[in-house]
Structure 1
Amino acid sequence: MLSILCEALSSPTEMFRVPCYFSPLIGGLAKVIILIKRRQFEQVKAAVPVILGVLKSMSLEADEEGKDTEDLFHKAIALADSIQAVCKMLEQKDKKKLCALLGMFVLQIMALVSIAMGHNISSPLPIMIHLSHFLPICGLSYEGLITGLDVDKFTTICGDDGDDNMACFSHVKHGGSLAVIWGYKSNETSVAADTDFEAVKNELQKNQTKRWQAIGMLKHVFSSVDLSWELKVHALDFLLCIMDGCMHQEIQNDTMDYSTYVPTLCTSLQVKRCNILGSFELFYLRLKLTRTV
Structure 2
Amino acid sequence: MPISKRLAAEFIGTLWLVLGGCGSAVLATNYPNLGIGFAGVSLAFGLTVLTGAYALGHISGAHFNPAVSIGLWAGKRFPANELLPYIVAQVLGALAGAGILFLIATGKDGFSAVAGGFASNGFGANSLGSPGGYAAHAAFVSEVVMTFFFVVVILGVTSKWAPKGFAPLAIGLCLTLIHLISIPVTNTSVNPARSTGPALIVAFQGGSWAVEQLWMFWVAPILGAAIAGFFYLWLSGEDGGPAAKQTSADADGDAGTHHSDDDNGDAGSDGGDGGGGDGGGD
Instruction: Please give the TM-score of this superposition, normalised by the length of structure 1.
Output: 0.30
Instruction: With a CA cutoff of 8 Å and minimum separation of 6, indicate the structure with the bigger relative contact order.
Output: 2
Instruction: Please give the TM-score of this superposition, normalised by the length of structure 2.
Output: 0.31
More helix by share: 1
Bigger Rg, structure 1 or 2:
1
